[in-house]
Amino acid sequence: MFLGLGANLGDPLAQLAAAVAGLRGAVEVDVVSSVFRTEPVGFREQPDFFNLVVAGSTRLEPGELLRAVQEVEARMGRVRTFRDAPRRIDVDVLAYGDLVIDTPELTVPHPRMAARGFVLHPLAEIAPDWRHPVSGKTARQLLAGAVGLERVERVGPLPGQPGT
């Protein structure tokens, strides 16, 4: 299971660390990618985002996992205003094993992940051989084949994580 996290308001690094910690009740976090600073996608008149990807496992069903990550967002002050808006925290379910789900509430794998550098760079860092359950391409192949990606710069390890 992979989750994508991003923030661009307040103290994004602290918020990412708090979100990773907040997920630990619902998710057994195995690996946290480096943090990547990325230019906004969609609505461009906002600060850069800081993004990372978490690999882990959970006993929750996909819909329960979605509700759990939304609870983390709500506790951290996430307010949904418009698509691609600035935010204190965003947590997306990117993939859940080999499952392909398309419901009004949840689509996995995430429908735009293969076109987002802020997902592909950290995903390829921690799971280069993970295969997209629809395309069959590895994370490394998805990143290598992506065109027109937003600017992405590796910042480094998330402060407070093992090994930092």
What is the token pair recorded at 39?
């230019």
CB 33 within 8 A of CB 54: yes
Please state the rounded mean pLDDT for residues 6-28: 95
| Per-residue pLDDT tens over the stretch 70-116 | 999 999 988 777 777 788 999 999 999 999 999 999 999 999 999 99
What would the mean pLDDT of 52-70 be, rounded to a whole number? 97
**Which residue numbers are catalytic?**
78, 87, 90, 92
Average pLDDT of the chain to the nearest whole number: 93
Q: How many CB atoms lie within 10 A of CB 129?
A: 9
Nearest to 20 by CA among 158, 164, 163: 158
**Which domains can be identified in the chain, with CATH numbers?**
2-156 (3.30.70.560)
Residue count of the chain? 164
